[in-house]
Amino acid sequence: MSNKFDVIVIGAGPGGYVAAIRCAQLGLNTACVDDWQDADGQPSLGGTCLNVGCIPSKALLDSTEKASHAAHDFADHGISVGNVSVDVPKMIERKDGIVSNLTKGIAGLFKANKVTSLHGRGRLLKNKQVEVSTGKEVAVYEADHVIMAVGSVPVSIPVAKVDNELILDNVGALNIKKTPKKLGVIGAGVIGLELGSVWNRLGAEVTILEALDTFLPPVDKQLAREAQRIFSKDQAMDIKLGAMVTATRTNKKSVRVTYTYKDEEHSDTFDALIVAVGRRPNTSDIAADDAGLKLDEHGRIEVDEHCRTSIDSVYAVGDAVSGPMLAHKASHEGVAVAEQIAGQAAHINHATVPWVIYTHPEIAWVGINEEQAKQQGINYKTGFFPFAANGRALAMNEKGGRIKMIADADTDRILGVHILGPNASELIAEAVLAMEYSASSEDVARTVHAHPTLSEAMHEAALAVDGRALHKVN
Ligand code: FAD
Ligand code: NAD
């Protein structure tokens, strides 16, 4: 094998592996370096997303949602199933099977596209050389272009040191083998709510300790308030806002957490504690000093709007650069960079990157929310529609939540769409497409939506922007 490539990608998460495949499709001789190993010490492609992120968390969310429906909702449909029990090791095994299937799938895609897969730790040297070290051997490769897709790692806090026995990060939290009786979670962000929901549905008593006084600040205020009520009241997750953890102490079986809440000191003992206080770019020692790679004050690789770094022909994408830490954002940037390298015009529209939180109900949004519209001094109008007035949602026993659309009051162009409700993760795609095409709320209002579907709630929200929703009083 030659040690010279057109492109070397460092990192095989959704940013890197997608960039590598697209480069290869465009006829570029491409290698992808990745150092991830599975529990058996075997290389496993797909990065955080496939190994310990998006996919395994959604597998567990799906299993537990089914269990929760069987235990709580089937009776409403006249279905009796007796006592519902969940075999947790089997559930984890199913999740591991899906991960293995998909990570091996990436290896297959690399092979089919003739991407050279190099296992080891990559480090950028000067002149676009890449050192790959396996621990035993070090090799140096050369490339005309390098794409850095090194991803992110969990933020750690000194008061709760992760041991992945009792104090868990996302890796440990996805591998709990027995439902904890009492589960503590630090951080009411995306991971805290998703993984808190998994174990809450299996009967764990879940307490979430969130430092901020606001619940889900990026989410539209009205929807965040409704979501908080559903999670706290209907699902009995104890979400404590404004709670600061000051100490943790573990013994063999439990962890005692001390925190201040409402100006008083409290202590709680949990069978497991998940720490989910954010992620940081995985950029330590990724480049030699004389390579010239610049990081910003947050440790992210500095890039311009085309993902170009401080070094000519070296690009960076995904969690390691600015913007939301989301798999689809990483992949989108990966494709755009590959196409630029191949001399094509590439387009990255960060304004239409959707967010989804896979709780029940799901939360999804794209574009700006009302508070941001106010801050930006935009003259806007809104329309909302509750799922309680949507026939399909009622047929599904899914009455909670709503869709809110925000449009420019002068031009009617859609500025943001926010959904709390069933299948929000799928429904948001219509809003993303509409915004990508600069649609107005009238464009969506004039589009035929199949009946009976949840998407009719999007249609009604668009009609409501103009005060003419058909199935609610405007
Ligand atoms: P990563 O996926 O982190 O991949 C980076 C890869 O590079 C890794 O394999 C790493 O080992 C390797 N690497 C790093 N440095 C080197 C080096 N020097 N040499 C060789 N290899 C290196 N996002 C969503 O959009 N939807 C979700 O539902 C979702 N759920 C999530 C759930 C959890 C629990 C977590 C933790 C994250 C979730 N995310 C989700 C976020 C998503 O996983 C990340 O945004 C995404 O993986 C970022 O992709 P990336 O390619 O930038 O980096
Ligand atoms: P997050 O940023 O979503 O939430 C972290 C929360 O922890 C915040 O609410 C923050 O205020 C709080 N916090 C920070 N320090 C704290 C402290 N000392 N005590 C108590 N609370 C504290 O981060 P996350 O949940 O760890 O997830 C990391 C990232 O991974 C997400 O931002 C997202 O980009 C990605 N992710 C996405 C999905 C998805 O798309 N569905 C799912 C999981 C993760």
| Cα distances (Å, whole numbers) of residue 346 to 9, 23, 26, 305, 319 | 18, 13, 13, 11, 19
| CA 234 – CA 228 distance, rounded (Å) | 10
Rounded distance from Cα 25 to ligand 1 centre (Å): 23
Does residue 422 line the site of ligand 1, with CB under 6 A? no
By C-alpha distance, which of 234, 188, 189 is closest to 207?
A: 188
Rounded distance from Cα 45 to ligand 1 centre (Å): 11
Instruction: Check residue 29 and give its pLDDT.
Output: 98
Does residue 190 line the site of ligand 2, with CB under 6 A? yes
Q: What is the pLDDT of residues 152-205, one digit of tens each?
A: 999 999 999 999 999 999 999 999 999 999 999 999 999 999 999 999 999 999
| CA 427 – CA 401 distance, rounded (Å) | 13
User: What mean pLDDT comes out for the span 367-377?
Assistant: 96
User: What mean pLDDT comes out for the span 325-342?
Assistant: 98
Rounded distance from Cα 52 to ligand 1 centre (Å): 8
Instruction: Check residue 53 and give its pLDDT.
Output: 98
**DSSP secondary structure string for all residues of 133-171:** E-SS-EEEEEEEEEEE---EEE--BTTB---SSSEE-HH
- Residue with the nearest Cα to atom 14 of ligand 2? 277
Tokens at 462, concatenated: 């668009």
Mutate to test the pocket of ligand 2, among 277, 319, 365, 366 (most ligand atoms within 8 A of CB): 277
User: What mean pLDDT comes out for the span 70-75?
Assistant: 95
Mutate to test the pocket of ligand 2, among 214, 261, 279, 326 (most ligand atoms within 8 A of CB): 279
At residue 33 the predicted structure's pLDDT band, cuts being 50, 70 and 90, is very high
3-state secondary structure string, 187-210? CCCHHHHHHHHHHHHCCCEEEEEE
Percent of the chain with pLDDT over 70: 100
Q: Which atom of ligand 2 is nearest to the CA of 193?
A: 25
Quote the DSSP letter at residue 351: G
Does residue 286 line the site of ligand 2, with CB under 6 A? no
451 is catalytic: yes
The set of residues, in sequence order, having a beta carbon less than 8 Å from that of 1 and lying 6+ positions away, is 116
Does residue 283 line the site of ligand 1, with CB under 6 A? no
Q: Is the pTM higher than 0.85?
A: yes
Does residue 319 line the site of ligand 1, with CB under 6 A? yes
Does residue 277 line the site of ligand 2, with CB under 6 A? yes
At residue 446 the predicted structure's pLDDT band, cuts being 50, 70 and 90, is very high
Does residue 132 line the site of ligand 1, with CB under 6 A? no
The set of residues, in sequence order, having a beta carbon less than 8 Å from that of 75 and lying 6+ positions away, is none
Does residue 276 line the site of ligand 2, with CB under 6 A? yes
- Residue with the nearest Cα to atom 24 of ligand 2? 278
Q: What is the pLDDT of residues 287-319, one digit of tens each?
A: 999 999 999 999 999 999 999 999 999 999 999
Instruction: Check residue 449 and give its pLDDT.
Output: 98
Instruction: Check residue 222 and give its pLDDT.
Output: 95
Does residue 172 line the site of ligand 1, with CB under 6 A? no
Rounded distance from Cα 185 to ligand 2 centre (Å): 11
Q: Which of 306, 347, 350, 451 is labelled catalytic?
A: 451
- Closest-approaching ligand to the CA atom of 353: 1
Rounded distance from Cα 98 to ligand 2 centre (Å): 24
Q: What is the pLDDT of residues 217-242, one digit of tens each?
A: 999 999 999 999 999 999 999 999 99
Map out the domains of the chain with their CATH numbers.
Answer: 4-154+280-351 (3.50.50.60), 167-277 (3.50.50.60), 361-464 (3.30.390.30)
Compute the mean pLDDT over every residue in the chain, rounded to the nearest whole number.
Answer: 97
By C-alpha distance, which of 188, 275, 184 is closest to 224?
A: 188
pLDDT of 347 above 90? no
Rounded distance from Cα 424 to ligand 1 centre (Å): 23
Q: What is the pLDDT of residues 246-289, one digit of tens each?
A: 999 999 999 999 999 999 999 999 999 999 999 999 999 999 99
Instruction: Check residue 473 and give its pLDDT.
Output: 86
Tokens at 123, concatenated: 């480090």
Instruction: Check residue 474 and give its pLDDT.
Output: 82
Beta-strand ranges (E) seen in 35-181 are 116-119, 121-124, 129-133, 138-148, 152-154, 167-168
Rounded distance from Cα 169 to ligand 1 centre (Å): 14
At residue 2 the predicted structure's pLDDT band, cuts being 50, 70 and 90, is confident
Tokens at 466, concatenated: 């103009």
Does residue 45 line the site of ligand 1, with CB under 6 A? no
| CA 200 – CA 234 distance, rounded (Å) | 12
- Closest-approaching ligand to the CA atom of 16: 1
Q: Which atom of ligand 1 is nearest to the CA of 54?
A: 30
At residue 1 the predicted structure's pLDDT band, cuts being 50, 70 and 90, is confident
